[in-house]
Amino acid sequence: MNRISPITISPTQSTNSVRVLVDSPSIVQTFSIQNRRYLGSKYRLLSFIEEIVGKECKGYKTFCDIFAGTGVVGAKFNDGQTEIIANDILSSSIVCLKTFLMTDGDYRKSITHKIDYLNSLQTNEDNYFSMHFGNSYFSITNARKIGMIRSAIDEISKSEQEKSILLCSLLYAVDKIANTVGHYDAYRKSPDIDKQKPVTLLLPEIDWESNHNNRIYKEDANALVRKIKCDVLYIDPPYNSRQYSDAYHLLENLVDWGKPTVSGIAKKMDRSHIKSEYCLRGATEALEDLIQNANCKYILLSYNNTGESKNDRSNARISDNDIVRILKAKGEVKTFEKTYRAFTTGKSDINGHTERVFFCKVRTAKL
Ligand SMILES: C[S@@+](CC[C@H](N)C(=O)[O-])C[C@H]1O[C@@H](n2cnc3c(N)ncnc32)[C@H](O)[C@@H]1O
């Protein structure tokens, strides 16, 4: 992997639309793909997944991460030779997937100037974001600034790719300071909200030299699976009734910027268009349909065994028996296990748990 260290930018002239406020050379701090709090992130399980792929999947050229979330799994296999296909239904995932897995040129200089500009913005005026999310998730000062930066991104972005990078940078910056336990089902009651650290955009560390082969989709996984073929299909769906659209509504709202009506204490917008079948009663049928229509050589399925928790929302939607039955209809099945401590919402009483990967060598690959 190409490691990118912080760079030094010299002062430059103003351009037409962007006032670059860098008067002296600035050291730009960076962030990495895994520097985000995300329910079900597989960052700490990457070596486990890599070991299984190394042992079981021979000569693969295409790796599809069809429920990509943060994208850390696809990024792990992004070596410049393997074609990575990454997909998710959330816009807030897509801008980050496009940033880390699609940027294929040296973006650092132009993006650094824009990030410096966005960080320099200041306002005492309210906007959509501060009116709904100020004095709760964010201090009023930060909320005003976040809203102002979001509008400015639309004005200063020269291309969709550049816009994705700036939105991704904003999203990681917002996640770092949000007054939450890592998701937006609720905010913490905090008398010191005014003392929140200022929101600061950083430069993403992108392995851009490996990105020329990759593809990103924003589709329902069951629709996409009918259109693509790949050697390795990695499947990491939500496993309980907690919808990702509920947990990350605020980030989705910020990225889409349609300024919808929000309601309730958590200030959620309408999310019916991004609800996942995998969190509902039809989860087993959805998985069966996905597997039946997969055109691939190998399948890896991550699925938790949280067992019966007191909190019903944490219980897995699909039983182990059904998973094995569905995969066996496709080929030979093996199960791999690893015990680890997961990032949870804090409501369930599960600490160490076993993470499983169900592996299937597909019997008659149609490739
Ligand atoms: C367990 S998370 C994936 C985490 C990811 N492997 C990582 O390490 O960051 C599940 C993801 O599936 C997405 N998702 C849920 N239902 C989906 C669907 N029907 N099609 C595509 N993506 C979906 C969610 O938005 C969420 O990002």
For residue range 75-98, list pLDDT tens digits in order. 999 999 999 999 999 999 999 999
Residue 67 pLDDT more than 50? yes
The set of residues, in sequence order, having a beta carbon less than 8 Å from that of 188 and lying 6+ positions away, is 179, 180, 181
Cα of 271 vs centre of ligand 1, distance in Å, is 15
pLDDT of residue 27: 62
C-alpha closest to that of 356 among 205, 364, 327: 327
Give the distance (Å) from ligand 1 centre to CA of residue 176: 21
| Structure confidence at residue 354 as a pLDDT band (50, 70, 90) | confident
Ligand 1 centroid from CA 7, angstroms:
33
* Average pLDDT score, the chain: 89
pLDDT at 355: 83
* Confidence category of residue 10, pLDDT binned at 50, 70, 90: very low
Residue nearest to atom 3 of ligand 1 (CA): 69
- Select the more confidently predicted residue: 358 or 12: 358
- Residue 203's pLDDT is 97
Share of the chain above pLDDT 70, in %: 86
Q: Which residue among 276, 285, 317, 343 is best mutated to probe the pocket of ligand 1, counting the most ligand atoms within 8 A of its Cβ?
A: 276
Kindly indicate the confidence band of residue 5, based on its pLDDT and cuts at 50, 70 and 90.
very low
> Mean per-residue pLDDT for 338-358?
66
Instruction: State the Cα–Cα distance between residues 172 and 32, nearest whole angstrom.
Output: 9
pLDDT, residue 149, reads: 98
> How many whole angstroms from 304 Cα to the centroid of ligand 1?
14
pLDDT over threshold 90, residue 18: no
Band (240; pLDDT cuts 50, 70, 90):
very high
DSSP H or E stretch at residue 85: strand 83-87
Candidate from 67, 219, 304 with most ligand 1 atoms within 8 A of CB, to mutate: 67
361 vs 346, higher pLDDT: 361
Instruction: Verify whether ligand 1 is closer than 6 Å to residue 238 (CB atom).
Output: yes
**Nearest to 154, CA basis, from 253, 255, 251:** 255
pLDDT for 137: 97
Residue 104 burial by Cβ neighbours in a 10 Å radius (0-12, 13-18, 19+)? middle
Record the pTM: 0.90
With cut-offs at 50, 70 and 90, classify the pLDDT of residue 343. low
Summarize the confidence of residues 263-281 as an average pLDDT.
97
pLDDT at 344: 52
Predicted pLDDT of residue 351? 53
Best mutation site among 49, 89, 217, 304 for ligand 1, i.e. most ligand atoms within 8 A of its Cβ? Answer: 89
Sign of the dihedral through C-alpha 258, 263, 267, 272: negative
184-233 residue pLDDT tens = 999 998 878 989 999 999 999 999 999 999 999 999 999 999 999 999 99
The candidate with the shortest Cα–Cα distance to 256, out of 367, 129, 80, is 129
Q: Each residue of 19-48: pLDDT tens digit? A: 334 444 456 799 999 999 999 999 999 999
* pLDDT number for residue 309: 57
pLDDT at position 348, please? Answer: 47
Where does the pLDDT of residue 306 fall: very low under 50, low under 70, confident under 90, or very high at 90 and above? low
* Ligand 1 centroid – CA 192 distance (Å): 34
Q: Tell me which residue of 334, 312, 315 sits closest to 323, measured CA to CA.
A: 334
Average pLDDT rounded to a whole number, residues 147-159: 98
What token pair was written down for 317? 């939607």
Domains, in order of start, for the chain: 25-362 (3.40.50.150)
